[in-house]
Amino acid sequence: MSAPPLLETLGLSRTFPGVRALDRVDFRLFPGEIHTLMGQNGAGKSTLINVLTGVHEPEAGEIRLAGQAVRFATPQEAEAAGIQTLYQEVNLCPNLSVAENIFAGRQPRKRGLIDWKSIHRRAAEALAELNLSLDVTQSLDTYPIAMQQMVAIARAVSVDARILILDEPTSSLDEGEVARLFDVLRKLKASGIAILFVTHFLEQTYAISDRITVMRNGEREGEYLAADLPVQTLVAKMVGLKDAGERLVHPEPPRADMPNEAAQAQAPYLAAQGVARRGVLNPLDLEVQPGQILGLAGLLGSGRTETARLLFGADRADAGDVRIDGKTVKLSSPRDAVRHGMAYCPEDRKKEGIVADLSIRENIVLALQAQRGWWRMISRARQRELANDYIEQLGIKARDAEQPIGLLSGGNQQKVLLARWLATNPRLLILDEPTRGIDVAAKFEIMDRVRALCAKGLGILFISSEISEVVRVSDRIAVLRDRRKVAELAGAKRSEHEVYDLIAGDRR
């Protein structure tokens, strides 16, 4: 690069109890570029961002901004220096208007009073710079997540941000929303803003990146021009292989070319007929056999999660029947579903899954204790035994079973949730986006273990926004569009091309 770096770190280090999160990391971010940070969960990406933005202080090393050594004691100090950060969960006030969010804490005043006319005009101008037109007087929560992220970007630009850090901004967006976000980022890049982008999506990395820095085990593995780094080489560097031809430690589970015929021949464990909820999901039929994976494929808003929640009793259906082992059952609550041998790993593991302040042990035994009833307490010794068994079985990387789950990486948190439900010995496991926001190697490992569970007779309902992943692991695929099931694929018809045709409306 001809220009000097706008942001630079030299030998940056940070340690947490028992973990060397950053180890002498050198990093460069240039003006007018999009630089993607890649690495497995636990590689140090989040810690690097937190140190750069004043959430954590470095123990060693130096941060330079425009050539000057800096150290931020708080995120507010980093923001004042021109570093704005957008996290996966939009960090705005949903109950305030769009304009209030853009100008929160710096409202223009006239004669001592807030100048609302000026706020509304300037907010609209800030959005117009991003080619967006919104009613800035409307409450932020009336807009979808994608638009809320755009509002957050407009706020960052309006405070003259020199550096924009985006941490997993696309995990909840569909393809159209991602394309729109990328258009905005390219516009900001052209204006000279330096953009640090963090994602787990390989295709998005190559669609948007000028350069890529790979991190592994708290260290910087290397910095590369995106155009000079083949995707196979990137994956190899992320997981610690010598070259792209070396075998992965946890190979991607092979996709069977034919459905599991032994499972298909069995009577379904669960059969849903005409299950629906007004305004949420149109009537649909589904069957899940023991020892088989039924995948749900569709875009965001197609009804995938809504289907899972209705089958698990988290939401109540107002039409249709659910049969388990041929008998009609009423699933009025998750307690009913668990009683019938069902388990559910939800899409949002942070809000609906883990209890961050509790230990791994306590998180693992939660569902089993609820199933037994709180008057039949599981002894501490049995809890430790269960937790240690699953830590070993699932390869959970942790200091010990007493470590708070909130300190684990996303992939390891997902394994703990899987352990929680496996402890109940379920017959049907519903997995809603089990690999979202986790690294490539962890995805391989989790899906490898899911296939192994299926081989032992467990029925699985599998949901993923990555169509390739659904096609790869499923015996059958139910394709959803516009809150209704449009087709079911099995055998040779299970292909990404066929799924995308059906999602797009091709009914051939």
Query: Residues 111-134: pLDDT tens digits?
Result: 778 778 888 888 888 888 777 788
Sequence-distant (6+) residues with CB within 8 A of 392 are none
Nearest 5°: phi and psi at 412?
-75, -35
Which pLDDT band, with edges at 50, 70 and 90, does 438 fall under? low
Tell me the average pLDDT across 431-459: 77
Q: Which of 414-418, 423-427, 459-463 has the highest mean pLDDT?
A: 459-463
Q: Indicate the helix (H) or strand (E) that contains 209.
A: none
Q: Give the DSSP letter string of 230-286.
A: -HHHHHHHHHT-SSTTSPPSSPPPPPPSS--HHHHTSPPSEEEEEEEETTTEEEEEE
Q: Report how far residue 249's alpha carbon sits from residue 247's, in angstroms, rounded to the nearest whole number.
A: 6
CB 503 within 8 A of CB 298: yes
Percentage of residues in the chain having pLDDT higher than 70: 88
Tell me the average pLDDT across 287-304: 86
pLDDT of residue 345: 84
- Tell me how long the chain is: 508
Percentage of residues in the chain having pLDDT higher than 90: 27
Q: Which residue type does 150 have? A: M
Q: Indicate the helix (H) or strand (E) that contains 441.
A: helix 440-455
Q: Indicate the helix (H) or strand (E) that contains 71.
A: none
pLDDT of residue 105: 67
Strand arrangement of the beta sheet that strand 428-432 belongs to: 342-345, 428-432, 459-463, 293-297, 476-481, 484-490
pLDDT at 52 over 90: yes
Q: Which of 83-92, 189-198, 436-445 has the highest mean pLDDT?
A: 189-198
List of domains in the chain: 7-239 (3.40.50.300), 251-341+426-508 (3.40.50.300), 359-425 (no CATH)
Beta bridge partners of 359: 404
> 373 vs 306, which has greater pLDDT?
306
Which pLDDT band, with edges at 50, 70 and 90, does 281 fall under? confident
Give residue-wise pLDDT tens across range 79-121.
889 998 887 666 778 888 888 888 876 777 777 787 788 888 8
Q: Report how far residue 73's alpha carbon sits from residue 331's, in angstroms, rounded to the nearest whole number.
A: 51
* Tokens of residue 280, six digits: 């949420």
pLDDT of residue 441: 67
Name the nearest CA neighbour of 245 among 259, 256, 235, 255: 235
pLDDT of residue 506: 44
Q: Which residue type does 453 have? A: L
Q: Report how far residue 39's alpha carbon sits from residue 48's, in angstroms, rounded to the nearest whole number.
A: 12
Sign of the torsion angle spanned by Cα atoms 93, 96, 100, 102? positive
> 426 vs 212, which has greater pLDDT?
212
Distances from the Cα of 205 to the Cα of 96, 155, 160, 440, 466, angstroms: 33, 24, 26, 13, 15
pLDDT at 289 over 80: yes
* Tokens of residue 204, six digits: 């998005």
